[in-house]
Amino acid sequence: MCTDCGCGDTHLVPVAVHEKILAKNDRDARHNREHFVEAGVLAINLMGSPGSGKTALLEATARAARGLRLGAVSGDLATDNDARRLERAGIPAKAITTGNACHLDAEMVHAALHGMGWRETDVFFIENVGNLVCPAVYDLGEAANVVALAVTEGEDKPLKYPTMFRGADLVVLTKVDLLPHLGDFSMSTLRDALARVMPEPNVIEVSARTGQGIEQWLSWLEARRPRRTKVGVHHHEHAHHDHSG
């Protein structure tokens, strides 16, 4: 018995829990997903190493967009350079500066959507922080995960970062205009590496500079667009705030 405060003896109680540690992020992601689906917006989580060509891919997408209305948020530790590049390319965009965080989470994306006309887009890109590790862990509410991989990164990148590629619905192989300068790059080695980390490997080869493959990429996006079942904006029951801003 404790004689200091009279708190009494203690004992240990085992508690079985079995709860996802990122359950809160998953809930926030589900919330984002409901909004995207209900508004008929295709949300894409675009990931890849720093310098893999994510922003250049979106710029090239805007140039060839076939009337698709695009929007984006762009995550980086500091600066709004990428968002400004996207704006110049004609994509309404907002920067999410994460400070020291190495990835976006669903709450950051949700906060950024406020004050943006994301409902008036057909395809909304969430350009993640350049990183092949951390973003793979966080669901953002996207409809599909796309990984940009530059030909200069090496064919064994998928084997080195299997978790990122396992979760990808599509790998966009970027900068293929550089292939003539990369004597030892082997497409079959890359495809073999992808087959060992992705159950359904799917690759589109693009060059943002020459426009090669961009049509195929647009067709991939078009095929995934949800059909708007209702005309106009449909508001679901929403307890805490509205998203029309």
- What's the gap between Cα 143 and its chain centre? 9
Residue 14 in the binding site for other proteins (CB under 8 A): yes
Residue 224 burial by CB count (10 A; 0-12/13-18/19+): exposed, middle or buried? middle
Give, as ranges, the residues between 17 and 46 that touch other proteins (CB under 8 A): 17-25
The yes or no reply on residue 223 touching other proteins (CB under 8 A) is no
Residue type, position 67, single letter: G
Determine if 12 is a binding residue for other proteins (CB under 8 A). yes
Chosen residue from 3, 4, 11, 188 binding other proteins by CB under 8 A: 11
Q: By CB under 8 A, is residue 105 in contact with other proteins?
A: yes
Tokens of 79: 């600066």
Nearer Cβ to other proteins (163/216): 163
CA distances from 14 to 11, 17, 118 (A): 10, 10, 47
Among 4, 7, 229, 242, binds other proteins (CB under 8 A): 7
Distance of CA 52 to the CA centre of its chain: 14
Q: Which two tokens stand for residue 112?
A: 């950024």
65 binds other proteins (CB under 8 A): no
User: What minimum distance in Å lies between the beta carbon of 15 and other proteins?
Assistant: 4
Output 161 or 217, the one with its CB closest to other proteins.
161
Task: Please give the structure tokens belonging to residue 51.
Answer: 């310098």
Beta bridge partners of 42: 123
Considering the complex, state which of residue 182 and residue 195 has its C-beta at the smaller distance from other proteins: 195
Residues 123 to 152 in contact with other proteins, rule: CB under 8 A:
133-134, 136-138
Provide, rounded to whole angstroms, the least separation between the CB of residue 114 and other proteins: 22
Give min distance, CB of 60 to other proteins, in A: 29
Q: For residue 5, state whether it binds other proteins (rule: CB under 8 A).
A: no
Stretch binding other proteins (CB under 8 A), from 7-15, 41-49, 59-67, 83-91: 7-15
Closest Cα partner for 165 from 139, 195, 187? 195
Residue 25 · residue 107 · CB < 8 Å: yes
Distance set, CA 231 to CA 45, 68, 116, 213, 228 (Å): 26, 17, 20, 33, 7
Which is closer to other proteins, CB of 24 or CB of 84?
Answer: 24
Residues contacting other proteins: total by CB under 8 A = 39
77 near other proteins, judged by CB under 8 A:
no
Given candidates 3, 4, 16, 67, which one binds other proteins under the rule CB under 8 A?
16
Q: CA-based diameter of the chain, in Å?
A: 81
Q: Kindly give, in sequence order, each residue whose CB lies less than 8 Å from that of residue 228, ignoring residues fewer than 6 positions away.
A: 40
Question: CA 193, CA 190: separation in Å to the nearest integer?
Answer: 5
| Residues in contact with other proteins by the rule CB under 8 A | 7-25, 101-103, 105, 133-134, 136-138, 162-164, 166, 192, 195-200
